[in-house]
Structure 1
């Protein structure tokens, strides 16, 4: 328990926290709740990490949760409450339902958005990303072969496959 207290204190003083490829649970993030200094949080390739609905990060500007199979509607609802968020990386998150992306429209400061290719276009229902996020200056995509490729021109708001 002493280690966890020391870890909590150490992380609470940081502005940038990177977790990569850890196999942890929700408790890992709960102790970051109301972390007033945290500007950037990376949770890439973390198999069991979920964003708990109680999590409040009042100054967070950059969130990377790429290649995380636990991203669901509840997680997106929580992310939508991070009103200071400028950059969101959901690339590689193939479990995100394209119809749930509208929840993120409430992010007033969002400038950069990275998505998995299936969120930009699905054969059944193309998603008009540019109309969903008109304030985003940079929209990119990632698949297993192209990492964070910036979409420079989106014909009719989606990429035809």
Structure 2
């Protein structure tokens, strides 16, 4: 039935990808290992949002096609399909209302603001959820090895927040 092993992430882990959504927003993601990723929002409404050590569920869904899904402390849930064969990414994100109303609150190095993000989430509003469903072109793929904390650095994106 399948000619791939769904838990074989050999061709994905350690990869740093830069991609640009159809709306022009650019992001970076680094797959640190089989259950952790780092990412940086380079442009858009939450530009300079940096997250390190985000737990994620990552599986192979086709030959050299992967899916990573996670929920952030903000309450945002994200599912990303990474097709490394044709350098295409598809993202579906479910944003709580408070994030859509004021995305700049999330534009920080999240790891230093977990309690703040959780307080914003608790204060809401949560509904209505805003769904973002977009394709992106992967413009760069680099193999940076496993668990390399220097790939996406919070130091280059320090905010005064």
Q: TM-score range by the shorter chain?
A: under 0.3
TM-score (norm 2): 0.21
More strand as a share of residues: 2
Structure with more contact order per residue of length (Cα contacts < 8 Å, sep ≥ 6)? 2
> What TM-score comes out, normalization by structure 1 length?
0.21
Bigger proportion of residues as helix: 1
